[in-house]
Amino acid sequence: MSLFFLLCLLFILQLTYPFLSVLAARFFSSKPGSALETPVQYDFACVITAYRNAEIARPLVASLIGQQYPNWMVYWVVDECPDFQETSGDSRVLLLRPEPPLRLKAKSIIYALAHFQRPHDYVVVFDADNLAHPDFLAAINRMANRGFSCIQGQRTAKNLDTDYAALDSLGEHYKNYIEREIPFRLGGSAVISGSGMATATHLYRAYLASPEIEQGKQRWKKMLQEDKILQNFLLRRGERIAYAREAVVYDEKVDSGAAVETQRSRWLYSYFQNIPNALGILRRGIIRLNFNQLYFGFVTLVLPLFIQLGTAVVLMTAAFLFAPAWGWALAAALAVFALNIGWVLYLDQAPPEVWRVCWKTPRFMWRQLRGLFKMRNPNKHFTHTTHHKSVSVEDVLKKKREKPD
């Protein structure tokens, strides 16, 4: 019985901590540090990895060419795209065609760094389906001038044309605020998104040479996701990951239930793989009295939302049968959690398309549950997510300007 009550207490904590952290950030936000007296224009290496579909990255390359920041170069790795030709005509864009095919994102990034044309200050990683806002690199540079060695930009949806895309965007808004903006405001680190982040080149090279990456290259689809390896590497070294809300990178959201299952099965597998690492960072934070490590370890241990909510409902139902006080406590925690989602969407300025699909979240959670059962054989079930929303950054910005307030 004591184990049951301990579980109830644990889930009450997980359900209420987002609200408490948002509340704390309203009163105790820390400043991100002072900028250099003489601003530096850092040199950015923008790495794009494209697997079997390089065409989808053309709008991303165009958005980088259109940056309102001058000091950059693009390294465009096209893996298994034999017939693709680069037509931008810009000498700052270097097309890299690895042979034999690499078939792994980490290997493509390593290949790009091996072909750097000059010593860059930062490495910025993009997925092929991304788009960079015209001020993206300028915003990253402002944070770099405040002394941060790793800076995560704000990923936001470039497509909201289906219910699933809008629901996926809802989750992104929530995570951007709870796992990135709030921890950074409170003096901790933002969780890395997987693209749209800039890391000091010397740190990024050290990360790529780490044992986790070397082991991962042999594990193929069983490899821990690169973003988790990077953030673990940085936190162990005592680095703080900044969140640059003004550095917007547009990301293609899943547009079908099948795509949700495919994508989330990989993410869930990586979450469970990463638990020992998150526990290790949490332990370091406790032993060293390091708030950054302690808070980051806790945030990355929090259960995926659909597992958290589903388990909390089961516990609440059981508690009402023989311990009603705990049942009511869980019910109150669930209510706080649900209301806080609405508050976060408001604070993060979620668009009307996201608000309209809030009541359809059970459908998305069901697809995630189905994805959970595809984790048992990664090499069989994990497939590359197909992207096909080829739109320019100008099109995305135009749509946003046309939307009524």
DSSP state of 57: G
**Rounded Cα–Cα distance for residues 296 and 294 (Å):** 6
* DSSP letter for each residue of 260-292: HHHHHHHHHHHHHHHHHHHHHHHHHHHHHT-HH
The predicted pLDDT at position 167 comes to 94
**Rounded Cα–Cα distance for residues 119 and 96 (Å):** 17
Longest dimension (CA), the chain: 71
The predicted pLDDT at position 381 comes to 53
Contact 326, 8 (CB under 8 A): yes
List all residues 6 or more positions away from 124 whose beta carbon is below 8 Å from its beta carbon.
Answer: 44, 45, 46, 47, 137, 140, 196, 197, 198
Q: Is the peptide bond before 404 cis (omega within 30 degrees of 0)?
A: no
The predicted pLDDT at position 222 comes to 67
- CA-based nearest residue to 345, from 353, 336, 354, 334: 354
3-class secondary-structure state, position 248: strand
The predicted pLDDT at position 44 comes to 98
Contact 74, 61 (CB under 8 A): yes
The predicted pLDDT at position 380 comes to 57
| Digitized pLDDT (tens) for each residue of the chain, 405 residues in all | 688 889 999 999 999 999 999 999 988 877 776 677 788 999 999 999 999 888 999 999 999 999 999 999 999 999 988 888 877 788 999 999 998 888 888 899 999 999 999 999 999 999 999 999 999 999 999 999 999 999 999 999 999 989 999 999 999 999 999 999 999 999 999 999 889 999 999 999 999 998 888 877 676 666 678 899 999 999 999 999 999 999 999 999 998 888 888 888 888 888 999 999 999 999 999 999 999 999 999 999 999 999 999 999 999 999 999 889 999 999 999 999 999 999 999 999 999 999 999 999 999 998 988 888 877 666 555 555 555 667 888 888 887 776 655
Strands, E assignment, 52-97: 72-79, 93-96
Looking from the CA of 168 toward its CB, the CA atoms found within 13 Å total: 26
- What is the distance, to the nearest Å, from the Cα of residue 402 to the centroid of all Cα atoms in its chain? 28
Given strand 44-51, what is the order of strands in its sheet? 93-96, 72-79, 44-51, 122-127, 197-200, 150-157, 241-251, 131-132
The predicted pLDDT at position 37 comes to 72
Residue 330, both tokens: 């869980």
Contact 319, 333 (CB under 8 A): no
- What is the distance, to the nearest Å, from the Cα of residue 77 to the centroid of all Cα atoms in its chain? 21
Contact 81, 50 (CB under 8 A): yes
The predicted pLDDT at position 41 comes to 95
Distances (CA, A) of 143 to 81, 120, 177, 200, 215: 35, 17, 18, 12, 32
φ/ψ (deg, to 5) at 119 = -75, 105
**Rounded Cα–Cα distance for residues 152 and 124 (Å):** 9
**Rounded Cα–Cα distance for residues 250 and 231 (Å):** 21
- What is the distance, to the nearest Å, from the Cα of residue 91 to the centroid of all Cα atoms in its chain? 30
The predicted pLDDT at position 224 comes to 74
The predicted pLDDT at position 221 comes to 62
3-state secondary structure 162-211: CHHHHHHHHHHHHHHHHHHHHHHHCCCCCCCCCCCEEEEHHHHHHHHCCH
Cβ burial 70-104 (10 Å sphere, 16+ → b, else e):
eebbbbbbbbbbeebebeeeeeebbbbbbeeebeb
- CA-based nearest residue to 108, from 118, 123, 86, 120: 123
- CA-based nearest residue to 329, from 342, 338, 320, 340: 320
**Overall pTM surpassing 0.85 (yes/no):** yes
Runs of H (alpha helix) within 68-104: none
Contacts 24+ apart (CB under 8 A), 349-352: 350/169, 350/170, 350/173, 351/160, 351/169, 351/403, 352/403
φ/ψ (deg, to 5) at 364 = -65, -40
The predicted pLDDT at position 113 comes to 96
